Amino acid sequence: MSHAALAAATLPFNGEVRGACPHDCPDTCAFVTTVRDGVAIKVQGNPAHRHTDGALCTKVSRYTERSYHPERLLHPLRRVGPKGSGRFERVGWDEALDEIAARLSAIAARDPEAILPYSYCGTMGLVQGESMAMRFFHKLGASLLDRTICASAGGEALVQTLGAKVGMKVEFFAEAKLILIWGSNSIASNLHFWRLAQQAKRDGARLVCIDPRRTETAEKCHEHLQLRPGTDAALALALMHELIVNDWLDHDYIARHTLGFEALRERALRWTPERAAEVCGLEAAQIRALAREWGTTRPAAIRLNYGVQRARGGGNAVRAIACLPALTGAWRHRAGGVLLSSSGHYPIDRAALQRPDLLRARRPRTINMSTIGDDLLRPASPEFGPRVEALIVYNSNPVAVAPESGKVVAGFAREDLFTVVLEQFQTDTADYADFILPATTQLEHWDIHTAYGHTDIVLNRPAIAPLGESRPNTAVFRELARRLGFTEPCFAEDDASLCVTAFGEGADYAELMAQGFTSLHLPDAPFAEGGFPTPSGRCEFFSERLARQGMDGLPDHLPNHEAIGSSERYPLAMISPPARNFLNSTFVNVKSLRDIEGEPLLEIHAGDAAARGIADGAVVRVFNDRGEYRCTARVSPRARPGVVHGLGIWWRKLGLDGTNVNELTSQKLTDMGRGPVFYDCLVEVRPA
């Protein structure tokens, strides 16, 4: 189907429009928006899409409340007060774009690498994400951004072990007889997988949750291993130990489809359940029992999620866990194996979308988004290059979500930094902008979506006209390109056409237009006969590529940067997983959802609370050398002794003292993938 057919699709004044949930969640739901007299009146799950199964989460079923929110940004704004004061005046689009273009041109004339884009997954769409924006920054020669803030440690680990971000087809979890839910609060952050796990449970499967927090998911599993944060690799190695000594191995699968078993065997034999139990804070008997289950149940599957890889050894942990299915030949069955992310299955034509050829011979430096605090404060130097002079933020709220907020805020507060923020709302980040440009929401623009928790493509058609003067991200970069004199035809491509460019011949657009989604054609059991997309074609227990980089070729347990017991002043380990009714920092400003969450909370074990004279509901100071954050203590059976949970990610300005939990997190990085270590953070807590 040509893009003309997509573009010809007009906005209905009345009717139903098929779309896609844009949020950063494995489920990527297909939804249907009901429009009456040009107004979206409700958003519902598309009943025809089996992964959505007609049901949306609480957050997205309130999507119209977000789109029509009284605080939606509807006009371009220019700063009038000091940086961060949040005081702005209304300006016209032409005035805003002319001034932004002039500022960027002047900086680019000196050194385009002084300009930095900052974006993440406010929308997961391929069009409103990195398409026109990347073309613009490539042509400009701006610094590149290493987009590491969420998943790069685990992603890199999958690439090194399985060959790509690939795994089981999610639908077959329903047929498994044992499911390990590992580092995932599925009920909160992967709801549509949880429905499949429930189906498996009704059919007799055992569910085991591995999580330092007793989450709502952990409560509903048969078994919960409440380990210390950042100790998963030790647990996985001890499971291997037991598989080996009890010979619960698939020798044929190992011989034909894996690499490095002998070396892994030697490593794993050093990890007795007793040794791992000591590290993990578990009982050796629990580890033995889990190994027996994994070794003797067929089919057996692991729903691994990104919670395990937000600590120093996160990459190694994912590598160790990803080895478990090959050891037992679990991959032979379509309901066996592991799924962390399915995003590597999609044939996206990124070169066509992002046009890296526009860089020509230039090779701009790359800045890691997870250390944006330090990088904004860094002076020019031969190693670093020029000081960052301009920042263009879209699809992200770094002042709230990036680690070590004290530094991030200090960087954004630089009066000599020129900051443009494309946003739907006046977030903590938008407060620091020189210009805020109002962005459309998913109901108002075209996009096309892959998923990381299933294997369908979902198309998003606009259901209503843009509210106020808001514009899609693509429109802003097209206009800036024109003002900077970029004449390549790719800067004129419209959004419907970009949807087609994303996959070209690789997707069935007629089906996408007709039903809103289309499935990739993949085998049910992708690695039943091996065929891993690694260099060796095998599941790589030992990775030559890692060894060549001077790293350990085998997975191992790496203690946290800030391991429990390593500091006398800060004895408590803090993790900060998402609050169920927010999506990262998105939805925090939707009052009905904020009312459910109540206020920023710190969950703490009764023993730890009593030792500090902290009563349930008391306001506490949570602090370390990086900063201090005040919130309300919830003495809670969800916390194990020694571990506290600062549920995220509140807007700073909606918190008790204008900060949030990232005031405490560090800019240290993971072992692989240069990722952040949000869940590797020691603190102390006192009554306020």
Ligand X SMILES: Nc1nc2c(c(=O)[nH]1)N[C@H]1C(S)=C(S)[C@@H](COP(=O)(O)OP(=O)(O)OC[C@H]3O[C@@H](n4cnc5c(=O)[nH]c(N)nc54)[C@H](O)[C@@H]3O)O[C@H]1N2
What are the backbone dihedrals phi and psi of residue 673, each rounded to the nearest 5 degrees, phi first?
Answer: 75, 0
With contacts defined by CB under 5 A, name the span among 145-153, 388-396, 420-428, 652-660 that binds Mo ion.
Answer: 145-153
With contacts defined by CB under 6 A, name the span among 45-53, 96-104, 262-270, 658-666 that binds ligand X.
Answer: 658-666
User: Which of ligand X, Mo ion, none does residue 141 bind to, with CB < 5 to 8 Å depending on kind?
Assistant: none
With contacts defined by CB under 6 A, name the span among 104-112, 196-204, 269-277, 301-309 that binds ligand X.
Answer: 301-309
Show the tokens assigned to 643: 């571990």
The label of the residue with tokens 């899609």 reads 472
The label of the residue with tokens 């928006």 reads 33
User: Which of Mo ion, ligand X, none does residue 578 bind to, with CB < 5 to 8 Å depending on kind?
Assistant: ligand X
- Smallest distance, Å, CB 24 to Mo ion? 5
User: Which of Mo ion, ligand X, none does residue 603 bind to, with CB < 5 to 8 Å depending on kind?
Assistant: none
Cβ closest to ligand X, residue 317 vs residue 417 = 317
Angle between helices 232-245 and 273-280 (to 10 degrees): 170
The label of the residue with tokens 């992603």 reads 155
Cβ closest to ligand X, residue 297 vs residue 305 = 305
- Smallest distance, Å, CB 121 to Mo ion? 7
- The answer to whether 653 and 126 have CB atoms below 8 angstroms apart is no
Give how far Cα 180 sits from Cα of 150, 176, 221, 303, Å. Answer: 22, 10, 9, 6
Give how far Cα 658 sits from Cα of 293, 405, 428, Å. Answer: 47, 11, 10
Residues 578-637 that bind ligand X (CB under 6 A): 578, 580, 582-586
- Smallest distance, Å, CB 564 to ligand X? 11
User: Which of Mo ion, ligand X, none does residue 666 bind to, with CB < 5 to 8 Å depending on kind?
Assistant: none
With contacts defined by CB under 5 A, name the span among 139-147, 148-156, 355-363, 553-561 that binds Mo ion.
Answer: 148-156
User: What is the tally of helices (H) and strands (E) in the chain?
Assistant: 25, 27
CA dihedral 602, 608, 611, 613 (to 10 degrees): 20
What track of x and - describes contact with ligand X for positions 536 through 575 (by CB under 6 A)? ---------------------------------------x
Cβ closest to ligand X, residue 585 vs residue 636 = 585
User: Which of ligand X, Mo ion, none does residue 562 bind to, with CB < 5 to 8 Å depending on kind?
Assistant: none
- Smallest distance, Å, CB 150 to Mo ion? 3
- Of the candidates 429, 374, 437, 438, the one whose C-alpha atom is nearest the C-alpha of residue 396 is 429
- Smallest distance, Å, CB 673 to ligand X? 13
- The answer to whether 181 and 209 have CB atoms below 8 angstroms apart is yes
Which single residue brings its beta carbon nearest to Mo ion?
150
Angle between helices 314-328 and 232-245 (to 10 degrees): 20
- Smallest distance, Å, CB 481 to ligand X? 17
Among 475, 649, 672, 685, binds ligand X (CB under 6 A): 649
* E-only strand ranges, 211-343: 223-225, 258-259, 300-304, 337-339
- The answer to whether 604 and 633 have CB atoms below 8 angstroms apart is yes
What track of x and - describes contact with ligand X for positions 407 through 446 (by CB under 6 A)? ---------------xxxx-x-----------x-------
Among 137, 173, 182, 527, binds ligand X (CB under 6 A): 182
Cβ closest to ligand X, residue 128 vs residue 543 = 128
d(CA 680, CA 559): 10
With contacts defined by CB under 6 A, name the span among 6-14, 122-130, 540-548, 565-573 that binds ligand X.
Answer: 122-130
What track of x and - describes contact with ligand X for positions 455 through 494 (by CB under 6 A)? ------------------x---------------------
Show the tokens assigned to 107: 């900086």
Cβ closest to ligand X, residue 161 vs residue 534 = 161
d(CA 40, CA 192): 25
- Smallest distance, Å, CB 530 to ligand X? 27
CB atoms within 10 A of CB 255: 9
Among 114, 116, 150, 174, binds Mo ion (CB under 5 A): 150
Among 115, 188, 243, 417, binds ligand X (CB under 6 A): 188
Residues in binding contact with ligand X, number by CB under 6 A: 57
With contacts defined by CB under 6 A, name the span among 4-12, 77-85, 185-193, 545-553 that binds ligand X.
Answer: 185-193
- Smallest distance, Å, CB 305 to ligand X? 3
d(CA 131, CA 129): 6
Question: DSSP string spanning 322-378?
Answer: HHHHHHHTGGGSTT-EEES--GGG----HHHHH-GGGGTT----EEEGGGHHHHHHP
- Smallest distance, Å, CB 193 to ligand X? 10
HSE-CB for 241 with a 13 A CA cutoff: 22
- Name 60's Cβ contacts closer than 8 Å, sequence gap at least 6: 21, 23, 29, 31, 43
The angle formed by the CA atoms of residues 453, 455 and 457, to the nearest 5 degrees, is: 110
3-state secondary structure of 19: strand
- Of the candidates 305, 66, 318, 303, the one whose C-alpha atom is nearest the C-alpha of residue 200 is 303
Bridge partner list, 572: 683
- Smallest distance, Å, CB 151 to Mo ion? 6
212 interacts with ligand X by CB under 6 A: yes
Cβ closest to Mo ion, residue 150 vs residue 238 = 150
One-letter amino acid for residue 461 of the chain: R
Rule CB under 6 A: which residues touch ligand X? 24-25, 120-123, 128, 149-150, 182-185, 188-189, 210-213, 215, 229-230, 232, 305-308, 311, 394-397, 401, 422-425, 427, 439, 473, 575-578, 580, 582-586, 648-649, 661-662, 665, 678-679
Rule CB under 5 A: which residues touch Mo ion? 150
